[in-house]
A and B are shown apart, each in its own frame.
Chain A
Amino acid sequence: MTIQQLSVFVENKSGAMLNVLQLLKSEGIQLLAVNIADTVEYGIFRIICSEPSKAFKLLKDANISVTLTDVFAIELDDKVGELANTLEIFHKEGISITYLYSFLINKKGVMVFRTADSERTREVIMLNNMKFIAEKDLYTLI
């Protein structure tokens, strides 16, 4: 139901993201999605990639502040209103989304998100028969 996301603490400075990406490239780690917001002096660079545990160790060994975060991933059909419909369910259940981003893979949309209440989120995903993606499934999609 969840997949692993790398969360990397980066300084808001030219070359900070590049440094992380070059390390991943050097070990042949493939990116599926990346996300960063515009903030002031620092940012959290969020990455979905192949071999997240290996990537985590690689960055940590390079003295980069990084965590592995379990995030929910739900597969959505690539058609109008799918994301809205899904969010409506969470909204009605009173679950607020902490952050969310999405990517496309094999013509399927993947919604990646965190909520303030993981237990309730799991229940809602199960009860509503949402097509969640597990860590192992993700890489078969690549």
Chain B
Amino acid sequence: MIWNPNKECMSRDEMSALQGKRLRKIVSYVYHNVPFYRNKMQEMDLRPDDINTIEDIRKLPFTTKQDLRDNYPFGLQAAPSSEIVRIHASSGTTGKPTIVGYTRKDIGVWSEVFARCLASYGVTRDDLFSVAYGYGLFTGGLGAHYGVETLGATVIPTSTGNTEKHIRLLTDLGITGIACTPSYALYLAETMDKMGVQRQNIKLKVGAFGAEPWTENMRAEIEERLGLKAYNIYGLSEITGPGVSYECECQNGSHINEDHYYPEIIDPETLEPLEPGKEGELVFTTLTKEGMPLLRYRTKDLTSLTYGQCSCGRTNVRMGRIMGRSDDMLIIRGINVFPSQIESVILSLEEFAPQYMIIVDRQGSLDTIKVQVELRPEYFVDDYPAMERKKKLLSDKLRSVLSISAQVELLPPGSIERSQGKGKHVIDNRKLQ
């Protein structure tokens, strides 16, 4: 089903006209409410009047994660605090989280675009839908929750954690839909096996999976083991959260809610926009956001855009699978992790040398992260418990910064391979392409 045909099936001319109108408005809004953007535009000798059509977007400055960090916590917020009804936060590159404030209207738009996703997956008012993304600062839980309520299905806010209880609810309530990370879906299947719950004991028919990269192989495995149809959902908290784009029944790319989030593909080196179909870095401009509107936000996700009508009837542009990142961000169990965060924790503890190696793996359905560090010679002691306490010191601090647990390995000086030039600090053994 198409939730909002007026917006999902517009002709390209109508869409461009709408986007142009909204862009004019948002540029004027940020110019007058966000000193950061006003200064940037003035430096470029650009005035709001210079932006008239959607093509003029190329004149505007980019926004990066670093800008969000530099303006922490509220520097990019455009609406007054009295209008902000909610704040979410995601991990930043060096410990400072990214703070995103939403007005009541922002929550409404987000709920609407999420409802579009669910309708596209075939979810209806008759469905019982379990939201198994984490509820909290992470946008997944509450974002999906409001989307399900907007659609009118019954939301079961299971969140993450108690998997056995979740499985009992799946069987007892006859839950028909689920939203979670793809790796959690596989973990759910494994736990079902352990509990002796058969596939035919559950009634799941549809799943919305996102917040981490996944493969067609994982899709096939999830569909086989849970007996449902698995759809991709994409989003990022800086822009709104999950719901920025979604697959339709054709599963030939993810339709972007481009009436709210205008996408561009740029060359990450030259920053020049690329032609449709070319792979590059995905950039979003929020066209309607009030709380923290962003102009040309560089997602660092590498993908391509496909224009033209889809067999499902929708005309909104489709983005391809994320082919990688133009930075070194890792997604571990749905959580964004930057190697620089880990490095800054290591460097803050004088026991450890600056050499380190991050090893990411996937055991069964769960991502694991291991950090190898070298203990400085003067901190070596002939005492195993004391050595283990040094490991714990680091792993505790990593957990508080990263929000996920990392295994620490303590090594003698010289054990970690020194690389020539720019240090290679990450080994990702997951096969995600």
Contact = CB atoms under 8 A, between A and B. Distances in A.
Contacts of A65: 375, 377, 380, 412-413
Q: Contact size class for B?
A: 10 to 19
A46 B382 contact: yes
B382 A41 contact: no
A11 B412 CA distance: 6
Contacts of B414: 63
- Which of A5, A9, A66, A98 has the most C-beta atoms of chain B within 10 angstroms of its own C-beta? A9
A124 to B, nearest CB: 21
B383 A98 contact: yes
Interface in B396-428: 409-415
Contact of B382 (A40, A63, A69): A69
Contacts of B377: 9, 60, 63, 65-66
B250 interface: no
A67 interface: yes
Contacts of A98: 383
Determine the main DSSP class of A at the interface with B.
strand
A10 B412 contact: yes
Interface in A21-45: 37, 39-42, 44
A121 interface: no
A64 interface: yes
B410 A42 contact: yes
A5 B268 CA distance: 57
Interface string A2-27: 00010101110100000000000000
A40 B413 CA distance: 17
B384 A44 contact: yes
Interface string B363-381: 0000000001001010011
Contact of A67 (B381, B410, B415): B381
Interface in B273-308: none
Given A7-B382, A44-B382, A44-B384, A63 B413 contact: yes
Nearest to B372: A41
Nearest to A37: B384
Contacts of B412: 9-11, 42, 64-65
Contacts of A37: 384
B410 A41 contact: yes
Contacts of B383: 98
Nearest to B381: A67
A40 to B, nearest CB: 8
A41 B384 contact: no
Contact of B375 (A9, A46, A64, A69): A9
B182 to A, nearest CB: 30
B382 A11 contact: no
Nearest to B374: A65
Contact of B411 (A41, A60, A64, A114): A41
29 contacts: A7-B380, A7-B382, A9-B375, A9-B377, A9-B412, A13-B415, A37-B384, A39-B384, A40-B409, A41-B372, A41-B410, A42-B387, A42-B409, A42-B410, A42-B411, A44-B382, A44-B384, A44-B387, A46-B382, A63-B377, A64-B412, A65-B380, A65-B413, A66-B377, A66-B380, A67-B380, A67-B381, A69-B382, A98-B383
Interface of B: 372, 375, 377, 380-384, 387, 409-415
CB-based closest 9 A-B pairs: A7-B382, A41-B409, A65-B380, A65-B377, A9-B412, A69-B382, A9-B380, A11-B415, A65-B412
Given A11-B415, A41-B372, A98-B383, 18 more contacts: A5-B382, A10-B412, A13-B415, A39-B384, A42-B387, A42-B409, A42-B412, A44-B382, A46-B382, A60-B377, A63-B377, A63-B413, A65-B375, A65-B377, A65-B380, A65-B412, A66-B380, A69-B382
